[in-house]
Structure 1
Amino acid sequence: MKTDFVKKLTTGLLLALSLLISYTAMGAFNSTITVKVVDAETDEPIEGAVVLVQWTKTTGFGFKATSIYKLVELVSDKNGELTIPGVFKLGASKPMLVVYKKGYVAWRNEYIFPSYERRTNFHWRDGYVFRLEHFKAEYSHKDHVSFLDRSNSSLNMGLL
């Protein structure tokens, strides 16, 4: 009788601990952060850069559906700074993030233009600096629009 109680208590404690760990881990990328947007060559702040952030959520069992949970659009101030509000909800995805200013290459947290390499150096944290590169003459405007369109499609469809 006592061993059944101990087993149930142990199972309950392990379940509670695993939920706490997963909930805490999710909060790491869902906290509110203040970031800065700068010119990659000069480190000067960029005023008026548009930052678009989207969180999605997946629901259902078997046939799952992804939908937009939260969508935020912000503009950097004269110091290149802005504050991105976070979310704290079980089931919310990591945020998809795009930073854009005319004359610069769009910055995405998933991929790098023009190579479409996976970005590995982004961390959702307070004080992060987005370094925007000038759009170079050798870059294709058509490819850049496609890069942005992929972001937009992902936002609309909740794919990223």
Structure 2
Amino acid sequence: MMKKRNFMHRFIWLVIALICVLFAIGCEGVLFPLPYRSLAPFEGKVVDADTKQPVEEAVVLGIYYFESYSIAGTSSHLKDGQEVMTDRNGEFKLPRTRRWFVLNRGYPEGKLVIFKPGYGVFPDHRKSQAVGENKGWPPPGKYIVYELPRLRTKAERKKNVRSASRYSEIPYKNIRQYWEKVNQECVNVDIPPMTMTEEERQR
């Protein structure tokens, strides 16, 4: 009888411990049994803010954040990305993408970064816009027109490219075109290109 009570006692504590572990993991976006990370889709058109003409070969980078919770509050962690280039009509489509059997699973919150040499970067440049939407967090799955301001001087372009983030938390293979465009602009305006360690590049 005593052995049975001890067994039940240990079993109950094991269940409680397991629930706590699953809860903690779930707060990081890894909620079993979901076997994948789902990246939200985005689509739309990129145009010149002045002429409203399409901007071809702008890189559109979707970046995705998970939230974590602690006694200190809520914080966001950049975990993933996917990218595409605009076509001759300035249009793009980032599909819903699933990353199978990764560490952080679930539905991270996504936002967009748009970069084209000679134009203000979206969303950081004050004159860039997501027409009719909050440019900080444009709604996924909705066709939106994005306006980029053309930069007229070399000084403007230097300031703009220096403000471009590295997003080194994201695997390089997922942001390669973004890096290439940013470094192309660095060369255009005579400043050193961004660099990445070999470890970051291979991650």
Report the TM range for the smaller structure's normalisation: 0.5 to 0.7
Q: Distance in 2 between matches of 1:147 and 1:113?
A: 12
SS in 1 for 2:60: strand
Query: What count of residue pairs does the alignment treat as equivalent?
Result: 117
Residue 41 in structure 1 maps to residue 50 in structure 2: yes
Deviation at 1:38, TM superposition (A): 0.8
1:104 maps to 119
Point out the structure with max Rg over C-alpha: 2
In the alignment, the residues of structure 2 paired with residue 62 and residue 87 of structure 1 have an alpha-carbon distance, to the nearest angstrom, of: 32
Separation (CA, whole Å) in 2 of partners of 1:65 and 1:40: 34
Q: Which 4+ runs in 1 deviate beyond 3 A?
A: 58-69, 86-91, 138-142
Instruction: State the AA in 1 paired with 2:152.
Output: K
| Residues 1:72 and 2:82 are matched in the alignment | yes
What are the Cα deviations for residues 17-38 of structure 1, in whole angstroms up to 9, with x where unaligned? xxxxxxxxxxxxx642321011
What is residue 168 of structure 2 aligned with on the other side?
156
- Structure 2: distance between partners of 1:142 and 1:113: 15
**DSSP 3-state at the match of 2:143:** coil
Distance of aligned partners of 1:87 and 1:124 in 2 relative to their CA distance in 1, 3 Å threshold? farther
1:143 paired residue number: 159
Local SS of the residue matching 1:102: coil
Question: Which of the residues 134, 141, 154 maps onto 2:150?
Answer: 134
State the one-letter code of the partner of 1:44.
Q
Q: Secondary structure at the match of 2:57?
A: coil
Which one of 26, 41, 51 corresponds to residue 60 of structure 2? 51
**Higher RCO structure (Cα 8 Å, ≥6 apart):** 1
Contact preservation (8 Å) 1:55, 1:95 = yes
What TM-score, normalized to structure 2?
0.47
| Unaligned residue ranges in structure 1 (runs of 5+) | 1-29, 115-119
CA-based RMSD of the aligned residues comes to 3.2
